[in-house]
Every structure is written in C-alpha cells, then in structure tokens.
Amino acid sequence: MPDGFLLNDPGAVPDKPALEGLEQKWIARWDAERTYRFDRTRGRADVYSIDTPPPTVSGSLHVGHVFSYTHTDVIARFHRMRGKAVFYPMGWDDNGLPTERRVQNFFGVRCDPSLPYDAAFVPPEKPPKQAISVSRPNFIELCARLTAEDEKVFEHLWRYLGLSVDWSMTYATIGRRAQRISQLSFLRLLQRGIAYQLEAPTLWDVDFRTAVAQAELEDREQPGAYHRIRFATAGSPSSAAFLEIDTTRPELIPACVALVAHPEDERYKPLFGTEVITPLFGVRVPVRAHPLADPEKGTGVAMICTFGDVTDVVWWRELGLPVRSIIQPNGALRPVTFGQEGWDSADAGAAQQHYDQLAGLSATKARVRIVEQLQQSGALVGEPRPITHAVKFYEKGDRPLEILTSRQWFIKTMDHREALLARGRELEWHPSYMQARFENWVNGLAGDWCVSRQRFFGVPFPLWYKLRADGSIDYDARLLPAEDRLPIDPSTDVPEGYRPDQRNQPGGFAGDPDVMDTWATSSLTPQIAGGWGDDQDLFERVFPMDVRPQAHDIIRTWLFDTVLRSYFDFGTLPWKNAAISGWVLDPDRKKMSKSKGNVVTPMALLEEHGADGVRYWAASGRSGTDTAFDPGQMKVGRRLAIKLLNASKFVLANRGAHGAVTAAVDRGLLTSLASLVRQSTADLEQYHYTRVLEMTESFFWSFCDDYLELVKGRRYGDQGADLAASANATLLTTLSTLLRLFAPFLPFVTEEVWSWWQEGSIHKAAWPAPEEVLAACGNVDHPDGVEALQFATTVLGTIRKKKSEEQRPLKTPVTLAVVRAPQAQLALLPTVEADLRASGLIQQLDTQELDVLQVDVTLAPVEGVAGDRA
C-alpha cells in the first residue's frame, strides 16, 4: 500500500492559505476533470440516483433554493464517496404559466394557436404596444430562447454553490424528451381508460382563462357581504309568502336553479317540492332538501347557482338540477335572452331589462349593479352585512375562481385512493412525520385530477378529432398518433391519413387545443431524467430512484402526482426515499418570499461569505424543519473553513516522519475519531446530515484547541523520534479523516487542502472507515487512551483557567502543579505527563490521591518592577 500521507509536492502547502478564489479554481477543475460525471457503466445496485427538483427558470433563485439544494448535495457527495455512481441531473422547469407570462411581456407577443408556424418570424427589438400574434410553435421557440438565457444564470449559481451535479445531464420540462414522455404516458393512460375526457363543471381562472386543478387552489381572506334576498313563493297568491336566503354572490341570482334546506329542518319541510320565483328575473325554481345544507348558516336556506362554489356543484349533481350558466370564460356575464327554453320568466320583459344592465359586466361590477336593482325592487332585506371570508383562488391568480362547465381531460385518482395510500406508506419519509401530509391529501381528494389547461406554452394533448359533415367536432372520434411520432403538436402536425388542408374543414380534423397542466409533466421527472423509452439502458440503471428531495409545500402536487404516475406507468414507487426540506424564514418567522421584499440575492451571499460558509448555514437546517435566515451562521461557517486551512497547514507543513501510534493520547484521539466516523456514516445513511456536521465540527475544534496544543512539543521531537512519529501519524490520520467527513459540507476548502498532499479529488476519495482510522494503533479501540486524553485536557484546562484568572500570559511557567485525583486517574498520569509538562509549561508536577480530580496551580511570580501591579 502506497504511503497515503506523503506530500506530492512539499511546496504545495501555501504560507498564507486563504479562501479567496477557491470557488473559481475548483469549479473549473471539477468541470475539466469531469469529477461529477455519472458513470453509466454501473448497474442499478451501484447507483445512487436523485430526482432533482427542476427550479422554475422564469423566477429567480432565492436563498430558499440555496438552502434545500445544499441538503441534496450533501447527500449526493456522501454517497459518491461511499462508492456509488451518483446520478445527479439538473432539470429546468420552463414549462407553464410563469414562463408564458414572461415571454408575452418580454417579446410583446401573444399566442394564437390558430395561426400557422412562421419559420421566418423574428421578434421586434422592443416589445410593441400592440402584442403581435404568433403561432404556438413560434411562441414555444421564444420561450425556449428566453429560458436558455435564464438557465445559464441558474447554472452559474449552482456551480458557484458547489452542487455536484452532472452538468452533461440536464433536461427541461418543455424539452423534446419531456414532451415525448408526457404524451406517451398520456396516450397509454388514455388507452387504459385512466385518462378520460368529460364536459363538467371545472374550477376556472378568469384572467388566465383556463381550468385549474384542486391541487393548485389556495384560500385567501376577502372582504364580502351577506345579502338577504327575498324569493316569492310561487303559486301562492298571498303576497306575504316569502322565503329569505343569505348570499355573498347576489349577481348569481340569474344563475339560480333551486333553493335548498336541510331535510330535517322543520321550518322548511313543508316547502320541499314547491317552487319559488327568483327576484328581478321571475324564474321559477324548486325548493329542495339536501343534508349538506346547514340549518345554522344564514337563514337555513341556500341558493343553488350554476355555479357559485363547489357545494353548488355537489347539489347540482346530486339533485339533478339544470344548468343556467351566466359567467363566461373571461369572467364577464354573458348575454341571455329571457323567455326562451331554460330561461322562462313570469315577466320576460322585466327580466330582460334587469339582466341587460348586468350582461358584459364582471362579477364584481355586476354585484354592485344588482344590489341597486334588488334595493329598488324591495327584494333586498335590510343592508348588506360586510364580512370577511375565505375565497378560493388559483395560486397564481388575481381574481377568485369561478366554476364553469367545460370539456376537460382528467386522470383518475379517486378509484386508486387505497393503492396510493399504500404507496405512501412504502416510501421512506425524512422526516417520517411528513407522511401525514400525504395521507391527509389523499384522503381529502375531492375529484379526479383535471390535467388540461386552456393555455399555449405547455405540452399539447397529442390527438385530433374528426369533424362531422356539418363542421362540428366529434369528440368521440379521436385520431391518435403512433407512439414513434411523438412528440407532436396537433395544432401544426397532421393526423395519419389526412392532408393539412383538411384542418378545421367539414369532414376533416381538428387538433385538441389544450395543453397539459405543468404538473402532468413535472410528475414524470424520474422518467424524463432517466430517459424512459429513448435511453432505456440508462433508465434501467437509475430507476426507481433513490431519493426525491423537495419542500413540504408541494407534497400534494409534485410528490403525490409523481407517485401516481409511477404507479400507473410501472406499478412501483418512483423512489425509495423522500427527503423533505423546510423553508427559510426571515427573522420575523415568516416564509421568505419575493413579495415581502426580504429576499437576499444568493450570489451576493455566496460572494460575501463564500460558498462553504453559506453551505455551512444551509446544512445546519434539519430535514423538514423551517430554518431562520442567519448570516451569522454563514460567518461561523466561513471561520470554520479558514480554521481548516490553517490547521491543515500546521499539520502538513514541516512535519517529520510518521510511525506506529503508541502514545495514549494519540490512541485516545483515534478511538474517538473512529467512533465519530461510525456515527456519521450511520447518520448520513438516515439523511441526518445536520448532526454529522455538528459532531465533526465539535471534534475538529477540540482537536485544534486541546489535542494539537497537547502534542505540539512532542511532535517536534521533544520526546524522541518514536513518539514524534506517533503524533505525526495521528495528526495525518485525523486530518485525512476530518477532511473527508467535512467534504460533503465544505467541498471547496476540503478539496483545496486535499490537493496539497493527495492525488485526485477528495470528492471521489473513499468515505472514511473506522478500521482505517484505527489501522495505526492495532485496529482496536483504546478506551484507556480516551480517558488519558480527557484527563490531560482537563488538567491543561485548569492550568489555562488559572492563567486567565490571574490575567497572565499563557506562556507563564507553572512552578508547581499538584494533581489530586482517584488512583485510577493518577495511574494514567505517566502516559500523559511529558505532554502536559510541555504544553502547560509545568516545572514541577506532584500528585496526591483524592476522590475527585482537582488541580492546584502555582504560577511563576510576575516579572518586572515590584509594586507595578496592585
């Protein structure tokens, strides 16, 4: 075995080591030497594969990204050193609304899917006031162009942070492979009946003009008002017969299809089956019973509209009510003609007059207008009572969601609830309690997953429909492409057996106009990164993956959807582990976010504190735990890195020969070190990286302050060559081991020091093993050595304390030290006495037996003129 401790070049240890410039130096070297390149000759058992979260490139990276990606990198580096081929790709999430919106503003364009592709299109220098309409392929080209620039910036930051990603393996969620896999998976789900199309009430964002999914909802507290509205009882000539309801959405009265009360509500029991007449519009609607109606709420009677909220949908479906919809996709009330089928009115003229004042208005404006009308007609009882209530929004939207009936694609989830819960239990969650989030979500699923979006920048649904002779679309006559044609864009590609000129012609075909929800693609990241279908060899080496790292807020979306898709595509979990990271909180304990203006640029942080310093802070945040943004910790990390440089320099420069480890304190140090290695390895395997950093740091600090001070003299030969060699061997073994334990956390400084005396990258060096640490002291633990080291440290500490209390320099000689201790400890004294005398500058050392350790220290008298000191 070659001597692993020899300096390659004795001049390689710098006189004044510094952190400055280490990032640039090692980024370039790692890139040139392909240090993190995935070795695809290795089989699945030798691979550690990571389903990296693709960051949204149209946003900007913030300190939260730096935080969680560091966690993943620590784990990746650990497994690489353990000998695994680490599959660590990087994806870019450039699919979806954020990118689409940014491209529209940046280039001043708007997507019109009906336009043909224009290969010669060049966007103007400056975005024009009037947006230019472009085809979907042109629009997607612009998206790709803009995101390519963003991706460069992101990659630069990631490299600077030291992520050990294989940069030859990147993917984009709008990339060709992602499109192909999304479409392929969809077509197979379609064939199995798991994907289906349905015309149904759907959550709808009126600004984006698209359907959205349950998983993308969020509640926001909004001001609103209860309006008490009077409905006349139909068929009762008595003008006293009224029914009153409370509503926050009076503008939906024209969309009212029934009133509802609880079946056991005695007040309304007699009215079930009767009819009432809507105010202003004179439409007869039934009074029905349903258990979801809450007698405690409002008057106990609710107005059912198509559709005011999700409860309306339930009532509408379960009571078999008609549709009377008034909200258009853009959120404005559509024109309606009263007196026609479905809009019968007791007084069509008056109804029309009222409604015409509402048509074309947004829901908010219509509400103001109809309240005036209701007041004038006397149907409004009292004044509106202002309240604050939670309203559902699309998480990226600005106006409350509406519910519109539309044709959408769905993926079945409800039928598979039990299987999905079982998958969630198979997955190893870090921390384990995060599994509850998954269970909660699956148990709370209210409907199948709506995956179609009426947007442009996304993966198109890969199919067409036949047109009937009258030009209408026959949705049941689907034209599916062959799998080997994928990806396709049905807005420009033509189905087999058709000519381009048959598009949108009677008897011809029409492309499906929708794109997939961004999660419908993101949920396939293991397949996309692994090359499912077009690099099957790679896929089989990496799938199912080892870990999915991600934040807890997207368990219901990304994690759940990925589990779902993998279950459908392969009948297996997509990964063994889910490592859930927390958020970065600002000092006010709020989640850091752009809108709050408290985001610090990651690049500025990296430049100020160094990548290792920032990583040190990040690595101090446990899995799943939100962590305070704390530049102080970054400073501590930076100091640790500097200390590593200096301590390493001391150990490596001017050292003598090394040999067998014979001294008790040396054996004690190595014994503790071996124990540290055992514990660290076990912890990292369980994703407990935080504790490893803490323990290693604590060991290192005491190594520097106690052990190093204790053996300095011996190491220089005070006690002869053999004991110097023992010290040197211990120092080198410890340094080598500590550097490797630190390497996943502080990749730059450890690599720098490693390069002073070792071949190759530390990041490909073997993770330390206890046997290796103990090799120079007989391959066994030395508990007596541990005690000797602790004993010596305590004695030395007492001497330091005395000097500190006396405000004397540490180099003050101790004229007499009396060590009182139990016999067992005193027996250790001879093994440490020489080190103690040298490090404590002890001139005379006496002992005395006592049941507890106690040291009396007498310092040399103060030199200089007597009386100078009080």
Partner RNA sequence: GGGCGGUUAGCUCAGUUGGUAGAGCACCGGCUUUACACGCCGGCUGUCAGGGGUUCGAGUCCCUUACCGCCCACCA
| 726 is a site residue for RNA (CB under 7 A) | no
Which positions ≥6 away from 796 have C-beta within 8 Å?
A: 706, 709, 710, 836, 839, 840
Site string for RNA, 608-647 (x = CB under 7 A): ------------x-x--xxxx-x-xx--x-xx--xx--xx
Task: Point out which residues pair with 392 in neighbouring strands.
Answer: 219
Window 643 to 702, contacts with RNA (CB under 7 A): 643, 646-647, 649-650, 691, 694, 698, 701
Asked if residue 396 binds RNA (CB under 7 A), the reply is no
Q: Which of 759, 805, 846, 856 binds RNA (CB under 7 A)?
A: 805
The three-class DSSP label of residue 399 is: coil
Task: Give every CB contact of residue 866 below 8 A, 6+ residues apart in sequence.
Answer: none
**Counting contacts by CB under 7 A, is residue 797 touching RNA?**
yes
Check residue 380 for interaction with RNA (CB under 7 A): no
| Structural contact between residues 329 and 208, judged by C-beta atoms closer than 8 angstroms | no
Of the candidate spans 86-94, 187-195, 288-296, 661-669, the one that interacts with RNA by CB under 7 A turns out to be: 288-296
Task: List the x/- string, 422-441, binding to RNA by CB under 7 A.
Answer: -----------xx-xx--xx
Binding-site member from 218, 344, 426, 540 for RNA (CB under 7 A) = 218
Burial 334-364 (b: 16+ CB within 10 A, else e): eebebeeeebebeebeebbebbeebbebebe
Q: Residue 473 to residues 201, 504, 639, 862: CA-CA distances in angstroms?
A: 20, 9, 69, 103
**Residue 415 Cβ vs RNA, minimum distance, rounded to whole Å:** 18
Q: Which helix (H) or strand (E) covers residue 390, if one does? A: strand 380-394
Q: Which stretch binds RNA (CB under 7 A): 78-86, 198-206, 804-812, 825-833?
A: 804-812
CB of 280 to RNA, least distance (A): 17
Question: What residues from 228 to 267 belong to the interface with RNA (CB under 7 A)?
Answer: 245-249, 260
Site string for RNA, 155-194 (x = CB under 7 A): ----------------------------------------
- CB closer to RNA, 207 vs 553: 553
Q: Using omega within 30 degrees of 0 as the cis cutoff, is the peptide bond preceding 487 cis?
A: yes
**Residue 386 touching RNA (CB under 7 A):** no
Q: What tokens appear for 73 in the block?
A: 């990198």
As a whole number of angstroms, the distance between CA 565 and CA 572 comes to 9
Q: Looking only at residues 446 through 505 of this chain, which bind RNA when binding is defined by CB under 7 A?
A: 446
Beta pairing, strands 575-581 & 428-430: parallel
Smallest distance, Å, CB 5 to RNA? 18
Residue closer to RNA by CB (options 6, 446) is: 446
Kindly state whether residue 553 participates in binding RNA, applying the rule CB under 7 A: yes
Choice between 108 and 447, CB closer to RNA: 447
Query: Is the CB of residue 257 less than 8 Å from the CB of residue 323?
Result: yes
Is 24 a residue that touches RNA (CB under 7 A)?
no
586 binds RNA (CB under 7 A): no
DSSP 254: G
Of the candidates 203, 261, 270, which has an alpha carbon nearest to the alpha carbon of residue 241? Answer: 270
Strand, helix or coil at 608? Answer: helix
Residues 2, 20: Cα–Cα separation, whole Å: 33
Segment near RNA (CB under 7 A); pick from 301-309, 322-330, 539-547, 859-867: 301-309
Determine the straight-line distance between the first and last CA of the chain, rounded to whole angstroms.
Answer: 63
Q: Which stretch binds RNA (CB under 7 A): 61-69, 330-338, 390-398, 753-761?
A: 390-398
Give 214 or 719: the residue with its C-beta nearer to RNA: 214
Single out the residue of 28, 148, 292, 721 in contact with RNA (rule: CB under 7 A).
Answer: 292
DSSP strand E in 278-325: where?
284-289, 301-305
d(CA 608, CA 468): 67
CA distances from residue 8 to 250, 715, 730 in whole angstroms, order as listed: 83, 21, 19
- In the bound complex, what is the minimum distance in angstroms from residue 196's beta carbon to RNA? 22
Q: By C-beta, is 77 or 556 nearer to RNA? A: 556
34 in contact with RNA (CB under 7 A)? no
Q: Which is nearer to RNA, 178 or 584 (CB)?
A: 584
Residues touching RNA, count (CB under 7 A): 88
Instruction: Give residue 40's region: left, alpha or beta (phi > 0; psi -120 to 50).
Output: alpha
Min dist CB 294 to RNA, Å, is: 2
CB of 621: closest distance to RNA in angstroms?
8
* 587 contributes a contact to RNA by CB under 7 A: yes
Q: Check residue 850 for interaction with RNA (CB under 7 A).
A: no
Residue whose pair of structure tokens reads 């085809």 in the numeric block: 135
Is residue 77 classed as helix, strand or coil in its secondary structure? helix
Region from 364-372, 514-522, 535-543, 586-594 binding RNA, contact rule CB under 7 A: 586-594
Q: For RNA, which is the closer residue by CB, 187 or 206?
A: 206
Alpha-helix residue ranges (DSSP H) falling in 96-210: 97-107, 136-161, 176-191
The answer to whether residue 860 forms part of the interface with RNA (CB under 7 A) is: no
Task: Give the nearer residue to RNA in terms of CB position, either 446 or 721.
Answer: 446
